[in-house]
Amino acid sequence: KAGVTQTPRYLIKTRGQQVTLSCSPISGHRSVSWYQQTPGQGLQFLFEYFSETQRNKGNFPGRFSGRQFSNSRSEMNVSTLELGDSALYLCASSLLTGANEKLFFGSGTQLSVL
Amino acid sequence: AQSVSQHNHHVILSEAASLELGCNYSYGGTVNLFWYVQYPGQHLQLLLKYFSGDPLVKGIKGFEAEFIKSKFSFNLRKPSVQWSDTAEYFCAVNPGGSQGNLIFGKGTKLSVKP
């Protein structure tokens, strides 16, 4: 069974640009969560989608957005990039919604903002 | 704000030594607790979790954790570590028990010397 797939693996952008990251969950999983990981702040929750609906949202500015498609694949978008957005963005999928579910993480997308 | 504290940033042990990694959280209500692990070159994966019942929880690979409500702690233990336990360990809390997000600690790197 294929795991959670995140693309691209690495991304370099400049300030002010926007970026879209993609996540394909494990087949059959309907929930996708996104986390930002930085050395200073650790892992921080961005948002969770279940059946194409955003179920929960973390404390991030509106520049961070996401969506989920009918096949459960998810994308997150960051507009007007700032230097502080440089981070590893992790996607996790689970069968059902809620953090009590076992989360399966992808390898992440390493975003560098110059 | 709710937070999770992991006391040690980096722990170095010799094989066969006993391990205890500290984790404290700040939330007065019902919590669900987790330990996730990231082995070198691999994805984050669930090690064990506590929802209710016996406060001593057993996970994979001989790990266990004890929930002490009065101390707001969920420390991870293993009686005898192996070189293959070298990894980064993350404690996480789901405050309220039903939200869709996890609050992670900043992680503890464990290095086991053969």
Q: Out of B46, B99, B105, whose CB is closest to A103?
A: B46
Using an 8 Å CB-CB cutoff, list residues of chain A that contact chain B.
Answer: 3-4, 31, 33, 35, 41-45, 48, 50, 55-56, 58, 90, 92, 97-100, 102-107
- Read off the tokens for A108: 């992440």
Q: Shortest Cα distance from B113 to chain A (angstroms)? A: 24
> E strand or H helix at B13, and its extent?
strand B10-14
| Neighbouring residues of B52: CB distance < 8 A, sequence distance ≥ 6 | none
A33 contact residues in B (CB cutoff 8 A): 100-101
For the stretch B65-109, pLDDT in tens is 999 999 999 999 999 999 999 999 999 998 765 556 889 999 999
Contact A48 B101 (CB under 8 A): yes
pLDDT at B11 over 60: yes
Q: Determine which of A103, A107, A109 to mutate to test the interface with B (most B C-beta atoms within 10 Å).
A: A103
Q: Indicate the burial class of A38 (C-beta count within 10 angstroms; 0-12, 13-18, 19 or more).
A: middle
The predicted structure's pLDDT at residue A101? 74
Q: Is the pLDDT of residue B30 over 90?
A: no
Encoded amino acid at B26, one letter: S
Q: Is B106 on the interface with A (CB under 8 A)?
A: yes
Ranges A9-18, A78-87, B19-28, B95-104: which has the least confidence: B95-104
How many Å from the N-terminal Cα to the C-terminal Cα in chain A? 37
Percent of residues, chain A, with pLDDT higher than 70: 96
Q: What is the DSSP string of A36-58?
A: EEETTTEEEEEEEEETTEEEEE-
pLDDT in tens, A55-79: 888 999 999 999 999 999 999 999 9
Of the candidates B38, B37, B102, B33, the one whose C-alpha atom is nearest the C-alpha of residue B68 is B33
